[in-house]
Amino acid sequence: MPMILGYWDIRGLAHAIRLLLEYTDSNYEEKLYLGEAPDYDRSQWLDVKFKLGLDFPNLPYLIDGEHKLTQSNAIMRYIARKHNMCGETEEEKIRVDMLENQVMDFRWQLVRVSYSPDFEKLKPEYLEQLPGQLKLFSQFLGKQTWFAGDKITFVDFLVYDVLDQNRMFEPKCLDEFPNLKDFLARFE
């Protein structure tokens, strides 16, 4: 029986999950929710939100038989544990734990700007601080192949997603960070 991934019909928080599901060749189906434009009515989701047996009803969700999860990073970890993609050594696990949370902080900075009514005001401020953020990721990766070490882990999918989003937001943002560009090329 395939797992069911539920989310809005957008990239959003489910993109890294989709990439990980595909990479691990997991058997899954998507349940996409989308209301009609221009208001993007949410009733399609709200009608079933409390009927799915989710402890914390939210999108994205993953249903794998009797296991029902919400929260994007919990879903990522669940899939990763099945495929030994959470790091092996204590050092790798520490790097995974730190990076998982750092990536989410970084993601929310871009989301805050992108969805703000003050977008035009906030964009230059975001772009001004972006090189400093990227430098931290570049230093953390260093000369390693993947962010936790020699083997790909689920956080590489999260980092790929957020770096790709920033690359779309500002195409030249990675020009000063060849190891991050190499990471993206390796991942793709």
Question: What string of pLDDT tens digits covers the 188 residues of the chain?
Answer: 999 999 999 999 999 999 999 999 999 999 999 977 667 788 999 999 999 999 999 999 999 999 999 999 999 999 999 999 999 999 999 999 999 999 999 999 999 999 999 999 999 999 999 999 999 999 999 999 999 999 999 999 999 999 999 999 999 999 999 999 999 999 99
Q: Are residues 175 and 182 in contact, defined by beta-carbon separation less than 8 angstroms?
A: no
The pLDDT value given to residue 66: 97
Both 96 and 152 in one domain: the answer is yes
Both structure tokens of 2: 């395939």
Residue 38 has what pLDDT?
Answer: 67
Query: What's the rounded Cα separation, in Å, for the pair 64 and 5?
Result: 9
Query: Residues 181, 99: one domain?
Result: yes
One domain for residues 77 and 163: no
State which residues form the domain around 20: 3-82
Looking at the structure, do residues 94 and 154 belong to the same domain, yes or no?
yes
Same domain, 72 and 143: no
- Residue 56: the pLDDT is 98
| Domain count across the chain | 2
Residues 75 and 109 in one domain: no
3-state helix/strand/coil string of 110-156 = HHHHHCCCCHHHHHHHHHHHHHHHHHHHHHHHCCCCCCCCCCCCHHH
Are 78 and 164 in the same domain?
Answer: no
Sheet holding 67-70, edge to edge: 28-33, 3-8, 61-64, 67-70
Distance, CA of 175 to CA of 153 (rounded, Å) = 25
The CATH number linked to 140 is 1.20.1050.10
The residue from 43, 66, 82 where one domain ends is 82
- Residue 37 is predicted with a pLDDT of 67
Which CATH number covers residue 57? 3.40.30.10
Shared domain for 94 and 176, answered yes or no, is yes
pTM for this predicted structure: 0.95
What pLDDT, on a 0 to 100 scale, did the predictor assign at position 71?
97
What pLDDT score was predicted for residue 41?
83
Q: What is the identity of the amino acid at 39?
A: D
Last residue of a domain, which of 52, 82, 112? Answer: 82
Contacts from 82-87 at CB under 8 Å and sequence distance 24+?
82/24, 82/26, 83/24, 85/20, 85/24, 85/151, 85/152, 85/153, 85/154, 86/153, 86/154, 87/148, 87/149, 87/153
DSSP helix/strand/coil, 29: strand
Q: Examine the domain organization and report whether 67 and 115 are in the same domain.
A: no
Of 82, 98, 132, which closes a domain? 82
Residue 116 tokens, joined: 């703000």
Q: What is the DSSP letter of 13?
A: G
Whole-number pLDDT of residue 105: 97
Say if residue 127 is in the same domain as residue 62.
Answer: no
